[in-house]
Structure formats: structure tokens, C-alpha cells
Amino acid sequence: MVALTRTVRFSINPDGSTGGANGYGGVPAMVGLGRYAEISVRCVGEPDPQTGYLVDIRTVDRAVREACVPIIAEAIVYEPTIEPAKLLPPLLLALRESPLGQVVRSIVWHLTPYYAIEMMTNATETVVVRVCANIAAAHRLHVDELSLEENRAIFGKCNNPNGHGHNYRVETAVAIKQRDEIPPLGVAQIERIVESTIVRRFDHKHLNLDTEEFANGSGCIPSVENMARVFFGLLAPEIADAHTGASLASVTVWETDRTCGTFPG
């Protein structure tokens, strides 16, 4: 079994323009005050033994444009205040009824660079809301039980005595059971929880010197792996208390665009 993920970028424009191949900036390109979005479709199955394709990516592009975009465009006109998560079941169903068929396993709708929603075919009663935030912080990677030479050998320049800094990106993924009788946990509420629990606590801090979680002697080195684990532990009860049917699925922390840690892994 292999998994193939294709991201389709598009704009829903006031002039109704559609069509074209998947482009770097989205097709159709934005006209006037259009609405930009990205949809990522994950397909799972066995590749064709002759072509090596699980599915032709052009088929994914057409399926998203022909099956998903009209649903979103109609909602923008007739239900502009609808919670986007409520559109995921019909979007996923439309993809499954397209030529893609049963290879579709999940859909992620990227509404902004910092906000996305996801649904999987084996859990259509649950929406995963992904919300990102940024913190700027300094840290030093150092183990007191090791010698200075051993620390330098393991951590290199990250062992600088005065520390060094990163602009961290923190993604909180919240799994929410969809129930008509209970209002959904919105992105604004999740952002407030992340702001009060993580951003205020760790932003513009030296993690080793200014926080109890990573204080020198705490035994918890502020690596990106440990940061994801600690943040998860802080956020999980806050999310659970905020909404019946909501639970923290994971926390991912990027220290650069090339390195991130996720908990649970």
C-alpha cells in the first residue's frame, strides 16, 4: 500500500471563472476580491503495476475542481456564515463519488496559512481543526551530567553558553466530534486557548532561564521534541475543558522550516 497526497490550489472569483491545470498560485488565478483556498487529498492503495501510478494527479485536480469547488462556491453565496467543518462531509462524499472513488482516505481544507480542517473517511463524525501560532524564544541544549566537551560534541553550536533563538511555529490539532446539538469549537476559541496557555507563557523567553518546564536542572532539555510533548501536556486539559467532544490530537513545533517535532508521534 502507498499513500499519495495532492494539493490543489484555487480561487473562487466573483466572475465565476473556473478550470485549468493545477498552478503554483492556484487555478483559476484570483480575479478581483476572490477567495483563495487549498485542498489536499490523500489517497491510499496499490499502484498500477504498469504505470506505477496509484492515481493520476490530473484526476485529483479535476475531482477537486468539479466536485468540491462548486460546493464551496455555493456555500459562499448562500451560507456565508456556515462553519467550514460542516462542509467537510459533503466534500469528502463528493470526492468518493468522483472518479477517485474509494482510494480517497482524507481531505484537508487549508482556509488560511494558519488554519486548516481535516476529515478522514474512517472517522466522518470527527473534524480535526489545525491552528498555528508563532513564538520567539531562546534556548540552550545542555546536559549537566555531561562534560563541556561531551555537550559540544552532541549539541554543537546549539550548546552556546548564552543560548540561541528560533522563531517557532506551533500547530495545535484538535479533534472535535460533530454534534448538531452542540456548537462547534471555533478557531477563535482555540486561538485564545493557545494564546493564554502557550504564547504568553513561552513567547520572548529564554526557555532555560525563564520557564519552569525547561529550567536548568529540571531534567527537561528544550529540544523541539520535548517542547511538543510539554506543550501537549499543557494544552490537552484546556481543550478538553473548553468543549464537550473535543480532544487534543497532537502538537507540532517547528524550530525551522526543515525541523519539527510532533507529540504524540
Would you please indicate which residues are annotated as catalytic (active-site) residues? 158, 204, 255
HSE of 160, CA atoms in CB hemisphere, 13 A: 9
Percentages helix, strand, coil for the chain (3-state, rounded to 5) are: 35, 30, 35
- Report the DSSP pairing between strands 205-206 and 164-177: unpaired
Runs of H (alpha helix) within 4-49 = none
Q: Helix/strand/coil (H, E, C) string of 96-155?
A: HCCCCHHHEEEEEEEEECCEEEEEECCCCCEEEEEEEEEEEEEECCCCCCCCHHHHHHHH
118 within 8 A of 92, measured Cβ to Cβ:
no
Q: Which amino acid is at 200?
A: R
> Is the C-alpha dihedral spanning 89, 91, 96, 97 positive or negative?
positive
Would you say how long the chain is, in residues?
A: 265
Contacts of 210 (CB under 8 A, 6+ apart): none
Cell numbers 467550514 correspond to what residue? Answer: 84
Instruction: Establish whether the linkage from the previous residue to 28 is cis, with ω within 30° of 0.
Output: yes
Q: How far apart are CA 13 and CA 33, in angstroms?
A: 7
Residue ranges of E strands in 146-194:
164-177
